[in-house]
């Protein structure tokens, strides 16, 4: 059986609303980090440890020993997302080469091509 539902008057709601509106910004140092934030902030240290011969598996175990319960896949994902260069960039066409859309736009209705 369900108990009596709690109710609140409008004055209480207004007080809470005013308090929420006036909350100061919480300093970043007091905010918890997500896995991605933690790994991103430690990326260069992680890469340095790998350069010293440590595997990501060993590094993840170190994280766990220090109190950050994260998985290998989470670390890999966060490292991928924090890469300074995107793997989605495309190689620009060299001079004289046409990309597929350019070639298609230069095609004539009879199938011939316009210069290029």
> pTM of the entire structure?
0.52
Q: How do residues 1-28 score in pLDDT, each as one tens digit?
A: 568 999 999 999 999 999 999 999 999 8
Concatenating the DSSP letter of every residue in the chain gives: ---PPP---HHHHHHHHHHHHTPPPPPGGGSPPPHHHHHHHTHHHHHHHHHTT--HHHHHHHHHHTT----HHHHHHHHHHT-SS-TT--PPPPTT---HHHHHHHB-TTS-B---
Q: How many CA atoms lie within 13 A of 57 on its CB side?
A: 0
Confidence of residue 82 (pLDDT cuts 50, 70, 90): low
36 pLDDT above the threshold of 80:
yes
């Amino acid at each position: 059986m369900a108990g009596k539902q709690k109710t609140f008057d409008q004055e209480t709601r207004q007080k809470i609303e005013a308090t929420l509106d006036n909350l100061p910004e919480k300093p970043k140092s007091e905010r918890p980090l997500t896995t991605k934030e933690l790994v991103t902030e430690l990326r260069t240290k992680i890469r340095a440890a790998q350069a010293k011969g440590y595997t990501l598996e060993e590094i993840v175990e170190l994280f766990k020993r220090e109190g950050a319960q994260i998985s290998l896949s989470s670390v890999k994902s966060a490292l991928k997302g924090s890469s300074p260069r995107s793997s989605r960039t495309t190689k620009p066409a060299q001079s004289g080469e046409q990309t597929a859309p350019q070639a298609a736009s230069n095609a004539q209705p009879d199938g011939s091509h316009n210069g290029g």
